[in-house]
Amino acid sequence: GPGTDLSFSIAGINGVKCDGRRNIPDGEVYTAPVRDSVNGVITYNTPALYQSVTFENIRFEFKDGKIVQATANNSSRINRILDTDEGARYIGEFSFGLNPFITSPIKDTLFDEKITGSIHFTPGNCYEECSNGNQSAIHWDLVLIQTPAYGGGEIYLDDILVRKDGRFILPELEGLNPENLI
């Protein structure tokens, strides 16, 4: 999406599908980046609630996996959260939101992280099923919607365009587009 240019590796880390057995609602596929592989910038376009405070316009800059700069509508507070422990400034989860019935944010993480055409890129603790070794008291799912209404975006895996403007474009992944999940 606008203001985002990230690169990272997921080599050797499992992917996990969430299809109704983990959360209600469900609808995501997640993994984790190799802990020190994240470089670049991400700008989230979805409001995020944390400890009863709404954060907007969150922007992280990464170097060798670590969030080295964090800004938002409340930059001092977001940096205090990211300073909770060493792992809070590293990413513990990367996920595609796939729920065809959730199309816009409502400031409820369990819904927003499933928005069709979105990703979430989560500072903090990783999940055991796809561990990158990152440990933290924090696990904060932050959402970037990539549909045209939210500015679009592209995702490349191994230099191959796999998703554009929130839609999977490879024939073998088209089954993950909203009209095929209903």
Query: Given a cut of 90, is residue 174 above it in pLDDT?
Result: yes
What average pLDDT does the segment 153-165 reach? 97
Parse the chain into domains and list their residue ranges: 5-175
pLDDT in tens, 101-152: 999 999 999 999 999 999 999 999 999 999 999 999 999 999 999 999 999 9
Reply yes or no on whether the pLDDT at 21 is more than 80: no
**Integer Cα distance of 32 and 45 in angstroms:** 21
Q: Which residues of 84-119 are buried (b: 16+ CB within 10 A; e: fewer)?
A: eeebbbbbbbbbbbbbbebeebeeebebbbbbbbbb
pLDDT above 90: residue 23: no
Answer yes or no: is pLDDT of 1 > 90: no
pLDDT in tens, 44-83: 999 999 999 999 999 999 999 999 999 999 999 999 999 9
Structure tokens that stand for 15 in this block: 């992917």
